[in-house]
Amino acid sequence: MEQLKTIGRELAMSSQGGGWAGQSKEFLDLVKSIGEARSKAEEDRIILREIESLRRRIAEPDVPRRRMKEYIIRLVYAEMLGHDASFGYIHAVKMTHDDSLPLKRTGYLAVTLFLSDDHDLIILIINTIQKDLRSDNYLIVCAALTAACKLINEETIPAVLPQVVDLLAHSKEAVRKKAVMALHRFYQRSPASVSHLVSNFRKRLCDNDPGVMGATLCPLFDLITEDVNSYKDLVISFVSILKQVAERRLPKTYDYHQMPAPFVQIKLLKILALLGSGDKQASGHIYNVLGDMFRKSETSSNIGNAVVYECICCVSSIYPNTKLLDAAVEATSKFLKSDSHNLKYMGIDALGRLIKINPDIAEEHQLAVIDCLEDPDDTLKRKTFELLYKMTKSTNVEVIVDRMIDYMISINDNHYKTEIASRCVELAEQFAPSNQWFIQTMNKVFEHAGDLVNIRVAHNLMRLIAEGFGEDDEGADSQLRSSAVDSYLRILGEPKLPSLFLQVICWVLGEYGTADGKYSAAYIIGKLCDVTEAHLCNDTVKAYAISAIMKICAFEIAAGRKVEMLPECQSFIDELSASHSTDLQQRAYELQALLCLDRQAVENVMPLDASCEDFEVDTNLSFLDGFVEQSIENGASPYIPESERAGMSSVNNFRSPYQQEASGHTLRFEAYELPKPSSIPVISQVSISAPTADLVPVPDMTYYRESDQASKISSVAEASSADIGIRLRLDGVQKKWGKPTYSSSSSSTTAEKATNGVTHVDGGVKSQSRDISHDSRRQQSEVSSEKQKLAASLFGASASKTEKKPASTHRVAKGNTANAERSGVTRAVSPEISKAKVAPSSPPPDLLDLGEPIMPTSTPTMDPFKELEGLIGPTLTPASLDNPATTSGPKAPDLMALYTDMPTGSSSSGVTLASGDAYSADKSSSLAKSVPTTKKGPNPQDSLQKDATARQVGVTPTGNNPNLFRDLLG
């Protein structure tokens, strides 16, 4: 306010003194009144009044030109203060047509400030710009170039391009310079439209005028960033230019604060850094001049330091050279020791670049770095955290992440909070010394920045808690889980927890709350009910909570205990049953239904601690075979796959039956096709499926997979239906084996990923590497015991080479466990992967198709088995100890399940299948299949799987798919 008063006074004085004779009294008054305005509202009022009067006056006929110029300037002023002045745009455009230079310049200024490059009025200016670019007066040309830079877009570039190119040879250097930059601007807008002119930039590099040469460096920098290799030949030219500049060969007029053309030097250094990056030969040319520049560097001025900093960047980017690195390190340490915050900032940044080449460099500057971390300057602090982030290793991760979290808690800036939270998560996932620490760290991150982090992180945390250390160490797992439960029960007491964190808490409490018997089910359920009351939570959290309650109830029933409903729980359920969200309603009803089920059923619906179990989605719905059979016998017509009905072959094999059905019912816009091609396979299918019951499964199984193939086969003329039958049957078997065989023969690694057995081996590897990580942790704890200074923990011993190895392997292992999405190998996602692996292989069978009829019947069925056995056999052995022994039905290896078509089918049937005889396998599988179907009925089994799907794929009960639980309640 005080300041404003002074302005007012000064203004009054100066206006009296006539210091502002150029402007009219009105404008002076306007500025004065704005300066004296006490509030934003008052200012707005003044401006609005001004705009009103301008609107009126500007529209008057015969406004004197000089007047008009002032009006336009006042409009610009009003718009700068945030008010709409669009009514005056057209007048600004008109002003560009004026012949007088000052008016034209004002017009151009106004339009460049007012208009975007796709504004409708631009079309009225193009012509003027064209004319002005050809003007004799270079100032007009310059003004037009400035306007062109701002206003010309991709569509209008061709209109002015010829003129701009002509100007590259203009006699005035100022014009040449601006023409080069305008061309550069065009290149930025639309590289394609000026690509044929790129050579001009090279030419202008040799311009007589150093200013023009300097201007050329900007577009060249862009071009070289895009494509380094085609400019390697210029390295020598750039180096010689830099040399000449640094040796003060340029006229004195280019000096700035006694530095010769520093901006040109900086641009050149940036370009050389790009060209020399990873190129030993090119870097060789650069070493010399860089050495000279370091020697002659002048660090007393700001700009001198800017050049030195750019030299350091260049050194860190090009092929390393020890001498230059030493010089760069020395310069960096000068920066860090400086009192100026600016230089410290540059020093930290430079250090961040140099440690990429040699991590040891950081060690000698540890104290300086710690100082920067404590500095009140926020920018410096952030830069330092960036540096720490870059130098994090498994040895110092705990200190660094703790620091980061402390800082994260202290700031309010959501944007940066998000960034630093995601960095914490990333570091913790990469380098976590133990799962315990990981979970604690994640808890802290969630607690303080919960709603800012990616939901993926929450899922990773849940997965980690569920999977634990690995299967060899059950005790540690349960310890981990109970400690997680303990910490969550404690945290629940705190007010205002982010919803994402609440989701994690609910899930963990539901899964493991009662697992160790420490807490009673009623206690946990009570807590869960409190959660929904104490925190104003959204539907997702409520869904998590009710699912957790359901799980606990199920575990209780399964354990033979009786569940008594707490009143608050009952009211929670009642509330949800009446919820607007159908998902919540459904969950509530499911819970109530579950409570009425007997122990056996509950055990199947909600198996204890089964969140890590594998599951298969039986896309063939083979458990319905018996039902289908019966229906067909009763006279129902068989199901014909959609692809055959439509005669199309582009049906996704893995679409769910619901979708398939639905798409079948949609309106069809193309004409019906001739029935001829599709009729043959249909008949053949029927001919097989109807008479012989024991052969039914073959075509049935193949229905989905075969659908597209069958239609292709159909185009091949076949003599007799019996032939087709046999061939088809073989086809079915072959196909099922054929797909993985195909992929495995092409690359064994993909097949390995697809098979579950191997992923188990992966788990084995993982646990091994975890052991290593424990070792490194022990080492670390030894180190940390002598950690008296933060510095020591950050830098000390961190660079020793011996520890690097375990760190890196650990990193990989961690990537596997904690980052399923990234690695894509973990068990939890393996079903999806196997799907993904199989799905793309549906087109390739063309190849097999051609081969099959020629092959002898036995070989195609045998070969893939052999191959697969070969694949699985050796790799399975280490894992086999824990795999088939501990796993029940659903955990049977994926591959087997795919071919036996029954997830619960015991592994024995899988073995018989693997033994080679396809027919007997089919029989046995159909036999085995009938067992579960009669025992449990199709519904519980299906829903079991689906529940497993929901738990594993989603983990989130977001309620996107209400179908999931449909079968559960029958």
Partner 1 sequence: MIRAVIVMNTQGKPRLLKFYEFQPPEKQQELIRSVFAVLSERPDKVSNFVEADAIFGPGTRLVYKHLATLYFVFVFDNSENELAMLDLIQVFVETLDRCFKNVCELDIVFNFNKMHAILDEIIFGGLVLETSSEQVLKAAEEISRLEKSSSSISFVPKAVTGRFSR
Between 418 and 949, whose beta carbon lies closer to partner 1? 418
Range in contact with partner 1 (rule: CB under 8 A) among 13-21, 50-58, 570-578, 861-869: 13-21
Q: C-beta of 183: minimal distance to partner 1 in Å? A: 10
Q: C-beta of 259: minimal distance to partner 1 in Å? A: 9
Q: What are phi and psi of 255, to 5 degrees?
A: -70, 145
SS3 content of the chain, % helix, strand, coil (to 5): 75, 0, 25
Q: What string marks each residue from 188 to 217 as x (binds partner 1 by CB under 8 A) or -?
A: x----------------------x---x--
Dihedral angle, C-alpha 488, 494, 497, 500, nearest 10 °? 0
Between 14 and 781, whose beta carbon lies closer to partner 1? 14
Residues from 139 through 168 that contact partner 1 (CB under 8 A): 139, 146, 149-150
User: What CA–CA distance (Å, rounded) separates 204 from 177?
Assistant: 9
Q: Which of 177, 204, 766, 777 binds partner 1 (CB under 8 A)?
A: 177
8 Å CB contact between 484 and 439: yes
Tokens linked to 829:
């996602």
Range in contact with partner 1 (rule: CB under 8 A) among 20-28, 485-493, 553-561, 631-639: 20-28
Q: C-beta of 417: minimal distance to partner 1 in Å? A: 10
- Is 310 a binder of partner 1 (CB under 8 A)? yes
User: What CA–CA distance (Å, rounded) separates 404 from 418?
Assistant: 12
Q: C-beta of 468: minimal distance to partner 1 in Å? A: 37
Residues from 403 through 432 that contact partner 1 (CB under 8 A): 413, 415-416
**Total binding residues toward partner 1, as defined by CB under 8 A:** 87
User: What CA–CA distance (Å, rounded) separates 545 from 521?
Assistant: 14
Between 3 and 886, whose beta carbon lies closer to partner 1? 3
Instruction: Identify residue 270 by its one-letter amino acid code.
Output: K
Residues from 784 through 813 that contact partner 1 (CB under 8 A): none
Q: Which of 90, 101, 169, 683 binds partner 1 (CB under 8 A)?
A: 101
**Beta bridge mates, 256:** 259
User: What CA–CA distance (Å, rounded) separates 909 from 912?
Assistant: 5
Between 377 and 882, whose beta carbon lies closer to partner 1? 377
Cα angle at 477 between 473 and 478, to 5 degrees?
Answer: 120
Q: Which of 87, 256, 639, 919 binds partner 1 (CB under 8 A)?
A: 256
- Is 31 a binder of partner 1 (CB under 8 A)? yes
Q: C-beta of 267: minimal distance to partner 1 in Å? A: 8
Q: Which of 75, 122, 160, 266 binds partner 1 (CB under 8 A)?
A: 266
Integer CA distances (angstroms), 554 to 547, 591, 941, in order: 10, 9, 17
- Is 257 a binder of partner 1 (CB under 8 A)? yes
8 Å CB contact between 549 and 510: yes
8 Å CB contact between 344 and 302: no
- Is 129 a binder of partner 1 (CB under 8 A)? no
Closest CA to 323 of 286, 352, 298, 353: 286
**Beta bridge mates, 318:** 277
- What's the count of helices (H) and strands (E) in the chain, helices before strands? 51, 2
- Tell me, what DSSP letter sits at residue 692? -
Burial class (CB in 10 A: 0-12, 13-18, 19+), 964: buried
Between 60 and 136, whose beta carbon lies closer to partner 1? 136
- Is 365 a binder of partner 1 (CB under 8 A)? no
Q: C-beta of 814: minimal distance to partner 1 in Å? A: 27
Integer CA distances (angstroms), 394 to 238, 400, 427, 580, 777, in order: 42, 10, 9, 48, 8
Q: Which of 299, 338, 342, 482 binds partner 1 (CB under 8 A)?
A: 342
- Is 539 a binder of partner 1 (CB under 8 A)? no
Buried b (16+ CB within 10 A) or exposed e, 938-958: bebbbbbbbbbbbbbbebbbe
Tokens linked to 569:
């729980």
User: What CA–CA distance (Å, rounded) separates 349 from 309?
Assistant: 9
- Is 11 a binder of partner 1 (CB under 8 A)? yes
Closest CA to 970 of 950, 948, 941, 949: 941
Q: C-beta of 893: minimal distance to partner 1 in Å? A: 45
Q: Is the dihedral of CA 174, 180, 181, 186 positive or negative?
A: positive
The residues, any chain, with a CB within 8 Å of residue 38's CB and separated by 6 or more, are 1
What does the chain come to in residues? 970
Element (H, E) at 259: strand 259-260
- Is 117 a binder of partner 1 (CB under 8 A)? yes
Q: C-beta of 253: minimal distance to partner 1 in Å? A: 6
Between 10 and 486, whose beta carbon lies closer to partner 1? 10
- Is 63 a binder of partner 1 (CB under 8 A)? no
- Is 176 a binder of partner 1 (CB under 8 A)? no
Residues from 842 through 881 that contact partner 1 (CB under 8 A): none
- Is 48 a binder of partner 1 (CB under 8 A)? no
- Is 258 a binder of partner 1 (CB under 8 A)? no
- Tell me, what DSSP letter sits at residue 318? B
User: What CA–CA distance (Å, rounded) separates 617 from 626?
Assistant: 18
- Is 517 a binder of partner 1 (CB under 8 A)? no
Between 152 and 489, whose beta carbon lies closer to partner 1? 152
Range in contact with partner 1 (rule: CB under 8 A) among 26-34, 499-507, 893-901, 949-957: 26-34
Between 238 and 737, whose beta carbon lies closer to partner 1? 238
8 Å CB contact between 747 and 883: no
Q: How many CA atoms lie within 13 A of 337 on its CB side?
A: 9
Q: C-beta of 171: minimal distance to partner 1 in Å? A: 15
Q: C-beta of 41: minimal distance to partner 1 in Å? A: 14
Burial class (CB in 10 A: 0-12, 13-18, 19+), 135: middle
User: What CA–CA distance (Å, rounded) separates 923 from 750?
Assistant: 30
- Is 475 a binder of partner 1 (CB under 8 A)? no
- Is 174 a binder of partner 1 (CB under 8 A)? yes
- Is 344 a binder of partner 1 (CB under 8 A)? yes
- Is 182 a binder of partner 1 (CB under 8 A)? yes
- Is 481 a binder of partner 1 (CB under 8 A)? no
Q: Which of 12, 80, 90, 169 binds partner 1 (CB under 8 A)?
A: 80
Q: C-beta of 50: minimal distance to partner 1 in Å? A: 14
- Is 102 a binder of partner 1 (CB under 8 A)? yes
- Tell me, what DSSP letter sits at residue 952? I
Between 51 and 529, whose beta carbon lies closer to partner 1? 51
Q: C-beta of 181: minimal distance to partner 1 in Å? A: 5
8 Å CB contact between 330 and 342: no
Q: Which of 81, 367, 931, 969 binds partner 1 (CB under 8 A)?
A: 81
Q: C-beta of 22: minimal distance to partner 1 in Å? A: 5
- Is 184 a binder of partner 1 (CB under 8 A)? yes
- Is 25 a binder of partner 1 (CB under 8 A)? no
Q: Which of 91, 176, 185, 527 binds partner 1 (CB under 8 A)?
A: 185
Instruction: Identify residue 530 by its one-letter amino acid code.
Output: D
- Is 444 a binder of partner 1 (CB under 8 A)? no
Closest CA to 735 of 644, 847, 650: 847
Q: C-beta of 143: minimal distance to partner 1 in Å? A: 8
Residues from 268 through 287 that contact partner 1 (CB under 8 A): 270
Residue with tokens 């000279």: 292
Q: How many CA atoms lie within 13 A of 147 on its CB side?
A: 32
Between 159 and 174, whose beta carbon lies closer to partner 1? 174
Q: Which of 226, 330, 378, 574 binds partner 1 (CB under 8 A)?
A: 378
- Is 309 a binder of partner 1 (CB under 8 A)? yes
